[in-house]
Amino acid sequence: MALRCLYQGSADELAEIIAQGHLVEELRRRFVAMHGAKPRESESASWGGSIPTVVDLLISAGLQDVQVLVELTAPICDVRMDIVLVGSERETGEICVIVVENKQWSQVRPVRGTQLVHVPNAPGRNPRLHPAVQADGYRQVLRDFVPMLRTAKVTSLVNLHNMPVAVLETIQGDSQELEGGAKRTKMYGQEPEERERFAAMLTKTFSGEMALEHAHDLLSARVSPTDSLMTAVDKSVHGRSVFPLLDEQRKAVEYVKVQLAASRRGNKRVVLIVGGPGTGKSVIALELLAACSKNGLKVAHATGSRSFTRTLWEYAGGDTRARRIFRYFNSFETLRSKLDVLIADEAHRLRRQVSGRGPSQVEQLISAADVPVFLLDEHQVVRPGEDGTIQLIENAAKEMKHEVLRIDLRSQFRCGGDPEYIRWVEQLLGLVAGEPPRRWRPLENYELYVAPTPEAMEKFLNRRAAETNSTARIAAGFCWPWSSPRKDGTLVDNIRINGWNRPWNVQGDERVGDMPPHTLWATHPGGHGQIGCIYTAQGFEYAWAGVIFGPDLVWRDVAWQADISQNRDRAVENALDFDFLVRNTYRVLATRGMRGTVLYSVDRTTNVMLANLGARLLDYEGVPMNTTR
């Protein structure tokens, strides 16, 4: 997986394009070629209005050889940085990188007590994330996810080329309680003195020597995260920041701070954070937990998933404190003391109210804290009785006389950082109204394959995991019986497909030999070699995912057909909405992979349909073939 940008060239080369009046036209053309869609008009306006102001300064400072990367996509997500400048450190000659966040704002007001700002008359939703926080987040993610930059000089700045310095000073670090790198991020306004200060900083920081070589090295550099979600759990419990949050993720955390202050003034709101798989909901939850713990607030994290919660216990140390912080939704029926913040992760797993039995589960959670925070994805409802929807939470809040603050997450942090794959899966499974399955368009940062057999899938995944020193798991529809372990501790090969036989993951809460309990199947090395199901895969991620479609969902003519008689999950045996639940189930299974996914259906007609959609095919040895259908 490598970094990519919309345009790479020297300041001199970019200045020539600007002089010819072709900048916006050229970037639009490249944008369509890279993303398959036209850029927003506001994006095009920003390119034309802001990029020349940076290039002019580079030229005037004698830095014409500095490499300018326009719209660099952040590692393992689809957030794009306005400009990244690459050159050499003047003293050492080593690579030097400056992240530039461009803003065309002329007016701005701070939101006191937060790292948010209000931009009068600007399109879109206010308040906005402070631009210094935004730029520093990009700097952090480059340092954290690109190993070659961990010892390099990487800085960030904000180019506010339309803003008077008198306005800019109202949002400087000392004026707005900025923290860490955001406080050190320089911001430059519109006055000539400000532009001279900007140019002087560039001249002092780096030179254009070796810039082209450094830029090539950066764009071909290995991308590798520092921590997985679970290995970072212990840090969050002890109040340490876990991950650099970007854009709307960071904004979500800041919004919660605002609501905590408002709640203490008697204006309680319910925070609703909505996003699909891989948009960082659980990362936000852990970062919120860290921020609350650091500030001495009473906080708890709750889910409706046994596997997810018990895995959190395991990685947080497994002691009494961990169990007090990481809890289940149903543990708030009796409220002993009110929390400051309750983080309800995986809120799509909220249970329906049982008639005549007091407050519903969602009402209990809202009552449990000054600031209840719900994080959910409606398309992950996979069993009857789960009713965690936006409407459910909004209606409950309204009944309780509380406003709802909704935040939509759009940036993609799983599946190679590209939302295109998520959309393709949803269209494949008929979960997007009016959008049938469409042909797969290969992506730079994500691999998709169709296997002729489960054995070929397994061979491919084993090789990929070994080659990349990463995790791989195969999960299947719940279409085979599930036996208890034999007396000698071995598992029964319940999943039998044309001579390929494998066991399900361990059923219970205890280890079986070297194999972990079901709650740790997705994260423990001993889970490799067993087949997971929806209950052990949901909420987790692994580098490489294999998905076996069972006979409970097959393709016939021009549509999917769900067959409840082929499903062995007792939880759905009488479900009237089985067709919806089973398609959601396969959506969840197909969106666990960080780097790639292999699909296979036991139904030949369905597997042929998958193969004909243009994904790369595997041969019977699990080797990628050179052609697609």
Q: What is the pLDDT of residues 288-298, one digit of tens each?
A: 888 788 778 88
The band of 125, judged by pLDDT with boundaries at 50, 70 and 90, is low
Model pLDDT for residues 424-470, shown as the tens digit of each residue: 999 999 998 888 999 998 887 789 999 999 999 999 999 999 998 88
Higher pLDDT, 61 or 318: 61
Return the pLDDT at 372. 93
Count of H helices and E strands in the chain? 21, 26
Q: Indicate the DSSP class of residue 557.
A: T
Residue type, 259: Q
Q: Across the strands, what pairs with 109?
A: 118
Three-class SS state of 613: coil
598: enclosing H helix or E strand: strand 593-601
Is the pLDDT score of 309 beyond 90? Answer: no
Of the ranges 110-114, 266-270, 414-418, 501-505, which one carries the lowest mean pLDDT score?
414-418
Q: How many CB atoms lie within 10 A of CB 496?
A: 11
For Cα atoms 629, 622, 442, give the angle at the middle one, nearest 5 degrees: 40
Model pLDDT for residues 507-531, shown as the tens digit of each residue: 877 888 889 888 889 888 899 999 9
d(CA 522, CA 542): 7
d(CA 47, CA 40): 11
Of the ranges 32-46, 105-119, 172-186, 337-351, which one carries the lowest mean pLDDT score?
172-186
The alpha helices in 160-246, defined as continuous H runs, are 165-168, 173-176, 180-184, 192-205, 211-219, 233-237
Q: Indicate the DSSP class of residue 624.
A: B
d(CA 412, CA 279): 5
The structural domains of the chain, with segments of one domain joined by +, span: 7-219, 231-408, 415-617
d(CA 287, CA 249): 10
Between β-strands 109-111 and 116-118, what pairing exists: parallel, antiparallel or unpaired? Answer: antiparallel
Q: How many CB atoms lie within 10 A of CB 36?
A: 9
Return the pLDDT at 260. 78
Token pair of 377 as six digits:
């994805």
Return the pLDDT at 412. 47
Average pLDDT over residues 466-483: 94
Q: Does this model's pTM top 0.75?
A: no
**Residues whose CB falls within 8 Å of the CB of residue 553, separated by 6 or more in sequence, listed in order:** 477, 560, 561, 562, 563, 582, 583, 586, 606
d(CA 549, CA 93): 54
Answer for the pair 596, 545: CB distance below 8 angstroms, yes or no.
yes
**CB neighbour class for 481 (10 Å; exposed up to 12, middle 13-18, buried from 19):** exposed
Average pLDDT over residues 332-348: 81
Return the pLDDT at 337. 62
Architecture of domain 231-408: 3-Layer(aba) Sandwich (3.40)
**Residues whose CB falls within 8 Å of the CB of residue 124, separated by 6 or more in sequence, listed in order:** none
Is the pLDDT score of 335 beyond 90? Answer: no
Token pair of 28 as six digits:
């639009």
Is the pLDDT score of 350 beyond 70? Answer: yes
> Among candidates 48, 11, 12, 10, which has minimal Cα distance to 27?
48
Return the pLDDT at 3. 84
Answer for the pair 518, 505: CB distance below 8 angstroms, yes or no.
yes
Between β-strands 447-450 and 403-408, what pairing exists: parallel, antiparallel or unpaired? Answer: unpaired
> Among candidates 197, 121, 185, which has minimal Cα distance to 161?
197
Return the pLDDT at 353. 61
Return the pLDDT at 216. 95
Higher pLDDT, 305 or 504: 504
Cα 166–chain centre separation: 37
Return the pLDDT at 498. 96
Return the pLDDT at 359. 81
Strand order through the sheet with 339-344: 326-328, 299-303, 339-344, 369-376, 269-274, 403-408
> Among candidates 289, 385, 378, 368, which has minimal Cα distance to 333?
368
Report whether the peptide linkage leading into residue 110 is cis, meaning its omega lies within 30 degrees of zero.
Answer: no
Of the ranges 196-200, 318-322, 379-383, 557-561, which one carries the lowest mean pLDDT score?
318-322
Higher pLDDT, 308 or 377: 377
Return the pLDDT at 552. 97
Return the pLDDT at 73. 86
Between β-strands 206-207 and 339-344, what pairing exists: parallel, antiparallel or unpaired? Answer: unpaired
| CATH 3.30.565.10 for domain 7-219 | no
What is the chain's mean pLDDT, rounded?
87
Return the pLDDT at 245. 66
Model pLDDT for residues 540-550, shown as the tens digit of each residue: 889 999 999 99
Return the pLDDT at 414. 46
Answer for the pair 472, 464: CB distance below 8 angstroms, yes or no.
yes
d(CA 67, CA 312): 44
Is the pLDDT score of 321 beyond 80? Answer: no
Average pLDDT over residues 86-115: 92
Token pair of 512 as six digits:
């079986």
Is the pLDDT score of 112 beyond 70? Answer: yes
Is the pLDDT score of 229 beyond 70? Answer: no
d(CA 8, CA 556): 47
Is the pLDDT score of 39 beyond 60? Answer: yes
Model pLDDT for residues 253-293, shown as the tens digit of each residue: 788 877 877 777 778 889 998 887 767 787 788 888 887 88
Is the pLDDT score of 1 beyond 60? Answer: no
Instruction: Tally the residues of the chain.
Output: 629
Q: How far is CA 22 from CA 66, 72, 80, 204, 375, in A?
A: 20, 20, 21, 31, 44
Q: Across the strands, what pairs with 102?
A: 159
Token pair of 193 as six digits:
């003195």
Provide, rounded to the nearest whole percent, the portion of the chain with pLDDT above 90.
51
Average pLDDT over residues 141-147: 85
Answer for the pair 364, 300: CB distance below 8 angstroms, yes or no.
no
d(CA 624, CA 451): 9
Is the pLDDT score of 233 beyond 70? Answer: no
**Residues whose CB falls within 8 Å of the CB of residue 224, separated by 6 or more in sequence, listed in order:** 145, 146, 147
